Structure 1
Amino acid sequence: MRQTRWADGQLIQVFVLHSEHEQHLLFSRNYLKMFPYQLDAIWARQRYSGIGSFPIQVTSLLEMQQRLQQTPGAIGYLTTDLMSSDLNVVAINEK
């Protein structure tokens, strides 16, 4: 959340599903190791302190896929069945 640009200087645009969406809950709990309300609090703290901004909320995984494909520098999360060859996949290694 502190990194605002990719290594090439491209602005990072974060997309997320609504906090109560099942996939957002699974992603938050399984990969970020926190509850969605904790993540919301971190984003709010960063936003209101002036060092960050809220991510853009999308309404569905299909919209997430479309936004990731259309937005340069975008990052988000998808289910495996929605990943396509025109997206760069970042693997998350669990420790």
Structure 2
Amino acid sequence: MENDLRQSLLSTARIYGDLTDCALSTVSRRVKNNASFFSGIADPSKSFTARTYDEVMRWFADNWPAGAQVPLDLMKWMVAAEYNRGAAA
């Protein structure tokens, strides 16, 4: 399960980076104020919590470029989390 969540985070981050013309390190800095955050996520020897996953996916949902297609993994998270843009976490 953690590997699925890891791939979901990395895929969503890469798509966001492509849409905003940003390097993955820039996306990392925007999301977690840590330029190596997604490098750490990509390392299978390191783990992360479900809370971190939810925080990052919420950031993407809140900051997804207007008019851009939302990736399936993010859409699934939004449905599962009953995401409502602008609502408190």
**Bigger-Rg structure (1/2):** 1
TM value normalised by structure 2: 0.34
Higher helix share: 2
Q: Which has the higher strand share?
A: 1
Greater length-normalized contact order (CA 8 Å, ≥ 6 residues apart): 1
- Provide TM-score, normalisation by structure 1: 0.32
